[in-house]
Amino acid sequence: MKVTNRFSLLTIGLILVMLLVACGSQPQTTAPTSAPAPTSVPAPTSAPAPTSAPTGAVVSATPGLDIDMILLPKFLGIAVFDQAYEGAKEAHAELGNKGDLIFTGPTAENSVAGQIETLTNAATQGVKAVMLSNNAGDQIAAAAQAAQAAGVKVVTWDSPIPSAQGESVFVAQVDFTETGRVMADMALAILGPAGGEFAILSASPDAANQNAWIAAMKQVLTEPKYANLKLVDTVYGNDQSEESYNQALALVDKYPNLKLIMAPTTVGIAAAAKAMTDEGLCDKVKVSGLGLPSEMVSYTLSGCAPQFALWSFKDLGYLTYYLAYGLATGQLQGVEGERFNAGRMGTYTIEKDPTRPNGLRVLMGPFTVYTAENVNE
């Protein structure tokens, strides 16, 4: 019994010691003497991965990211493309993009090869988005597909990739079908119900936008209302002033009864109006199409180009930038039905392109038809 009691007392003592040790063994923390040294954190290149937004939700881009973007016109030296760049710069500043906005392009003589080369090299230069006014038709599709595979978003504006291969979304300045009707209506207004012969002076044979507008106009001309308008020829000035000037005069020589030159290109319409003015032909042959008001005002006031139409290229560059930024940063997925905020221009929706079976578009609009009454406004 004594041995048992001593063992019991020893056991109880050991238990008490263990409890005291356990209670007193909580770790103590000391206040830091200084904050951790800050590290330099680069601006992120993408927003958090997007989740499926509820139907009708509008995506507003997270500003301040860091992505390099290229604005690639058909070629440099054209006033409307400079205006598009002004709009893109405005959007670049608003979104606080810490990356570069690069405005580059080929020469007119090297437009197709130059655009393909720029697009091909974009990924190796760290560019995340190329905003392309396509002048190469489907010849550029392979380069666009390769760029997309390398992580570069390709957004077209002004002129799309006809097959839409390699293209995320096209920003359409206006509805292409509507463009054909606007041109037909201006021709009818200028020539009157009696109609007459007219010809088209286009940019280049590979310009997808020009080809779509001309095709739409030809379709409209089949309607009874336009029965007396006779399209006799389509020629190309390759968006060069001198070449377009000479092509306009050649049309007059070739078609003695020609009454109108319709030029759906700002370079072509100004060159044709100058040619008719220089040769004293404005009373015989009128000029119309798509023109820049600042370049057309004198010809419109003189009656040589009574009507022409256009949209805002500055707005087109601005809208294109907002879309491309959203796609390149992962905030937009580029799917049909997606809606996004484009700053001062409001909300736009990505939709199917009715002119291309496999394409998506964002439709800007609208047209403005200019006459002597509003060309100075």
Q: Please report, for the domain that includes residue 301, its CATH number.
A: 3.40.50.2300
Q: Is residue 34 part of a domain?
A: no
Closest Cα to residue 168, out of 115, 216, 128?
Answer: 128
Closest C-alpha to 325, from 305, 306, 307, 342: 342
Report d(CA 210, CA 215) in Å as an integer. Answer: 9
Q: Report the number of distinct structural domains present in the chain.
A: 2
Whether residue 10 is predicted with pLDDT greater than 60 in this model: the reply is no
Q: Are residues 360 and 254 in the same domain?
A: no
- 99, containing H or E segment: none
pLDDT of residue 26: 41
pLDDT digits (tens, 9 = 90+) for 183-233: 999 999 999 999 999 999 999 999 999 999 999 999 999 999 999 999 999
**Average model confidence (pLDDT) for the chain?**
89
Mean pLDDT of 136-165: 97
* Cα–Cα distance list, 320 to 8, 49, 273, 331, 350 (Å): 87, 22, 31, 15, 12
List the structure tokens of 251: 């049309």
* 109 in a structural domain: yes
Token pair listed for 96: 């606080």
Residues 228 and 155 in one domain: no
The pLDDT, as a whole number, for residue 163 is 97
Instruction: Determine the pLDDT at residue 353.
Output: 96
198 inside domain: yes
280 and 226 share one domain: yes
Instruction: Please determine, for residue 38, whether its predicted confidence score (pLDDT) is greater than 60.
Output: no
Q: Does one domain contain both 326 and 343?
A: yes
- One domain for residues 180 and 305: yes
Average pLDDT estimate for 252-259: 98
If DSSP codes are grouped into helix, strand and coil, which group holds residue 66? coil
Considering the chain, what percentage of its residues have pLDDT values greater than 90? 83
- Read off the pLDDT band of 366 (50, 70, 90): confident
pLDDT at 37 over 70: no
The Cα–Cα gap between 195 and 190 comes to 9
Give the mean pLDDT of 336-359.
96
Domain that residue 128 falls in: 58-174+313-365
Residues 148 and 258 in one domain: no
- End position of a domain, from candidates 310, 339, 356: 310
Q: Are residues 168 and 244 in the same domain?
A: no
Q: Are residues 145 and 193 in the same domain?
A: no
Q: What is the mean pLDDT of the segment spanning 320-333? A: 98
Phi, psi (deg, nearest 5) at residue 137: 55, -145
**Coil, strand or helix at 57:** coil
CA distance 199 to 290: 14
CA distances from 167 to 153, 258, 318, 324, 335 (A): 8, 40, 19, 11, 12
Position 23 in a domain:
no
Q: Examine residue 30 and state whether it is found in any structural domain, yes or no.
A: no
pLDDT at 44: 60
User: Does residue 37 form part of some domain?
Assistant: no
Give domain status of residue 302, yes or no.
yes
pLDDT computed for residue 198 by the predictor: 98
User: Mapping DSSP to helix (H, G, I), strand (E, B) and coil, where does residue 178 land?
Assistant: helix
What are 103-113's pLDDT values in tens digits?
999 999 999 99
Same domain for 168 and 195, yes or no, is: no
Asked if residue 71 and residue 109 are part of one domain, the reply reads: yes
Lowest mean pLDDT among 8-17, 35-44, 146-155: 8-17
The reply to whether 117 and 146 lie within a common domain is yes
Same domain, 325 and 296: no
Q: Which of 294, 310, 326 is the last residue of a domain?
A: 310
Give CA–CA dist 46/85, Å, rounded: 23
What per-residue confidence (pLDDT) applies to 45? 61
From the CB of residue 138, how many other CB atoms can be counted at a distance below 10 Å? 16
Residue 164 counted as domain residue: yes
For residues 18 and 246, the model is more confident at: 246
